[in-house]
């Protein structure tokens, strides 16, 4: 995370640079899972649809959330963030732009496209370009909103959209893109008439977004299935909503525990969000199951290899591909992993090989063969989930490791070193010199370092 330009305000902290990990400690105990990154970001963007004060609770204090605060403030909303409670006031005139500086830092900044188009009739969103996991177009967003009456043109790196009137239409998405589903869903809440999205994304965060919109007065049905219907309404009013727990954080912590042959309870996690993933863990010989408070996991022996292919929900989540590969490195047998969602989401593999893993890439597949053990080494995170994969490998490896460029991991995991330590891991974080500031007068300053 780059230092914010201004230094008048509240100190958010320093970006983490390195996590030192002494491998080989069995993780056990219980740990609370934070609010979901990919829900919180969408709910924050959707709050722009209503003039007035939206309150979100259980919001994780992660770098991407702070980036979205900057986006909302750039647009003209007032944002306060105290502990895990965020208040967003989007009354008054808004500016309909998501600038390149923020979109290039975090693609989810583009989630303001639907709300701004619906409320302002205009939006200007920087084209995200590629990122460390693939080229990631926004053509599906553009086509779908185009069918509803928006017209788009490109202007010096920006996608500019105008929609004096948005009209409900039947939209068949070529691919169940989460981002496109979300932008159409939010735009359709204030459109004229009925919109139907076919082949919609079905992720739990789409269901949360729809529930939040309905609490604001929208009329959305079918979220969680591949057909979502939205009856447009005249206006929306602000709501209060609790961000659900993060399924990807839950899956990542589960793999950290299982890779060290440990046992833990993930408090607040929802097993039903992770059925296919949980089933695969069970196939490796791990225990995985819902408890009264969350999810219980344990593993006492070497896992058995499994094949898996990433797919849109309810398939195996691409966001858990790297953590799962790390866990499978010492599994008995050979695992074949197919990445179907992103074109280049294997940057962690070369780093795992530096730790002694036997993983070969063949196009969109990784072939993971058993090695007796991983060895600690200095490695570099290239992206958020790949970085967590390396941490999982390092926790299970012999000897010390250093995971560098931890700012990638801080984008999406709240207090990860503290959570791992509470489970018995020996980890030590170091922070860079650049302080990150944000002018958030009501923000809690109790948390100096992330
Ligand atoms: N795609 C297109 N054109 C489009 C939209 C998508 O070609 O107009 C392609 C993308 O390039 C990608 C695939 O479709 O290859 C999936 O994209 P999707 O739109 O479903 O993903 P997203 O909304 O950009 C969200 C998550 C990602 C997660 C993916 C897939 C957020 C903020 N991001 O991205 O999360 O991997 O869905 O489940 O919700 C992460 O948290 O680490 C992360 C990358």
Task: For residue 372, count other CB atoms closer than 10 A to its CB.
Answer: 8
User: SS3 of 274, please?
Assistant: helix
Residue 3 pLDDT > 70: no
Question: Which of residues 261 and 446 earns the better pLDDT score?
Answer: 261
pLDDT tens digits along 185-198: 999 999 999 999 99
pLDDT tens digits along 30-83: 999 999 999 999 999 999 999 999 999 999 999 999 999 999 999 999 999 999
Q: Is 64 in the pocket of ligand 1 (CB under 6 A)?
A: no
> What's residue 131's pLDDT?
59
The residue whose CA is least distant from atom 24 of ligand 1 is 179
Q: Which two tokens stand for residue 222?
A: 């079918």
Residue pair 397/375 in contact by the 8 Å Cβ criterion: yes
pLDDT tens digits along 107-152: 888 899 999 999 999 999 988 755 566 666 789 999 999 999 999 9
Share of the chain above pLDDT 90, in %: 82
> What's residue 429's pLDDT?
92
Which residues fall within 8 angstroms of residue 392, CB to CB, at 6 or more apart?
Answer: 252, 255, 256, 259, 323, 326, 327
Residue 450 pLDDT > 60: no
Length of the chain: 450
283 CB burial (10 A radius; 0-12, 13-18, 19+) = middle
pLDDT tens digits along 162-185: 999 999 999 999 999 999 999 999
> What's residue 442's pLDDT?
43
104 CB burial (10 A radius; 0-12, 13-18, 19+) = middle
Closest CA to 179 of 212, 142, 215: 142
341 Cα: distance to centroid of ligand 1 (angstroms): 8
> What's residue 436's pLDDT?
60
Report the atom number in ligand 1 closest to the C-alpha of 412: 41
> What's residue 314's pLDDT?
97
Q: Is 138 in the pocket of ligand 1 (CB under 6 A)?
A: yes
Residue 449 pLDDT > 80: no
Name the average pLDDT for the chain: 91
Instruction: Count the alpha carbons within 13 Å of 345 in the hemisphere toward its beta carbon.
Output: 23
Model confidence at 7, pLDDT cuts 50, 70, 90, reads: very low
CA distance 194 to 24: 56
Q: Which two tokens stand for residue 424?
A: 């018995």
Which DSSP helix (H) or strand (E) runs through 195? strand 194-198
Q: Which two tokens stand for residue 164?
A: 């004096």
Report the atom number in ligand 1 closest to the C-alpha of 64: 32
CA distance 232 to 118: 10
| Residue 26 DSSP class | P
Q: Is 131 a catalytic residue?
A: yes
Residue pair 434/46 in contact by the 8 Å Cβ criterion: no
Which DSSP helix (H) or strand (E) runs through 306? none
136's torsion region: left (phi>0), alpha (psi -120 to 50) or beta?
Answer: left
């Amino acid at each position: 995370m780059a230092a914010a330009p201004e230094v008048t305000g509240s100190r958010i902290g320093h970006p983490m640079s390195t996590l030192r990990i002494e491998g080989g400690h069995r993780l056990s105990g219980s740990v609370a899972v934070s609010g979901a990154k990919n829900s919180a970001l969408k709910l924050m963007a959707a709050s722009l649809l209503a003039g007035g004060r939206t309150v979100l609770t259980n919001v994780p204090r992660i770098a991407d959330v702070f980036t979205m605060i900057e986006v909302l403030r750039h647009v003209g909303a007032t944002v306060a963030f105290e502990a895990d409670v965020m208040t967003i006031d989007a009354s008054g005139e808004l500016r309909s732009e998501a600038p390149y500086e923020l979109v290039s830092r975090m693609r989810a900044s583009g989630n303001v496209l639907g709300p701004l188009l619906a409320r302002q009739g205009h939006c200007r969103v920087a084209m995200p370009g590629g990122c460390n996991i693939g080229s990631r177009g926004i053509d599906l967003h553009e086509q779908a909103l185009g069918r509803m009456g928006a017209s788009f043109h490109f202007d010096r790196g920006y996608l500019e959209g105008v929609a004096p009137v948005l009209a409900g239409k039947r939209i068949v998405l070529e691919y169940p893109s989460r981002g496109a589903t979300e932008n159409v869903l939010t735009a359709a809440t204030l459109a004229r008439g009925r919109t139907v999205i076919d082949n919609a994304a079905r992720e739990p965060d789409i269901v949360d977004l729809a529930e939040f919109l309905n609490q604001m007065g929208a009329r959305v049905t079918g979220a969680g299935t591949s057909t979502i219907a939205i009856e447009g309404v005249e206006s929306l009013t602000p709501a209060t909503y609790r961000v659900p727990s993060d399924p990807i954080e839950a899956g990542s912590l589960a793999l950290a525990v299982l890779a060290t042959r440990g046992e833990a309870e993930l408090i607040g996690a929802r097993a039903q969000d992770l059925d296919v993933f949980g089933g695969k863990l069970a196939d490796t010989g791990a225990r995985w199951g819902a408890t009264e408070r969350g999810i219980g996991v344990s593993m006492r022996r070497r896992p058995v290899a499994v094949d898996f292919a990433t797919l849109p929900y309810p398939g195996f989540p691409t966001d858990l591909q790297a953590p799962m590969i790390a866990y499978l490195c010492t599994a008995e047998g050979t695992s074949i992993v197919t990445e179907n969602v992103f074109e280049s989401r294997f940057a962690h593999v070369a780093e795992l090989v530096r730790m002694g893993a036997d993983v070969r890439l063949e196009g969109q597949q990784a072939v993971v063969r058993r090695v007796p053990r991983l060895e600690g080494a200095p490695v570099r995170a290239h992206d958020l989930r790949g970085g967590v994969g390396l941490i999982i490998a390092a926790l299970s490896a012999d000897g010390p490791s250093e995971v560098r460029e931890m700012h990638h991991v801080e984008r999406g995991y709240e207090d990860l070193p503290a959570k791992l330590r509470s489970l018995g891991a020996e980890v030590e974080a170091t922070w860079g010199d650049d302080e990150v500031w944000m002018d958030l007068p009501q923000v809690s300053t109790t948390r100096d370092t992330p």
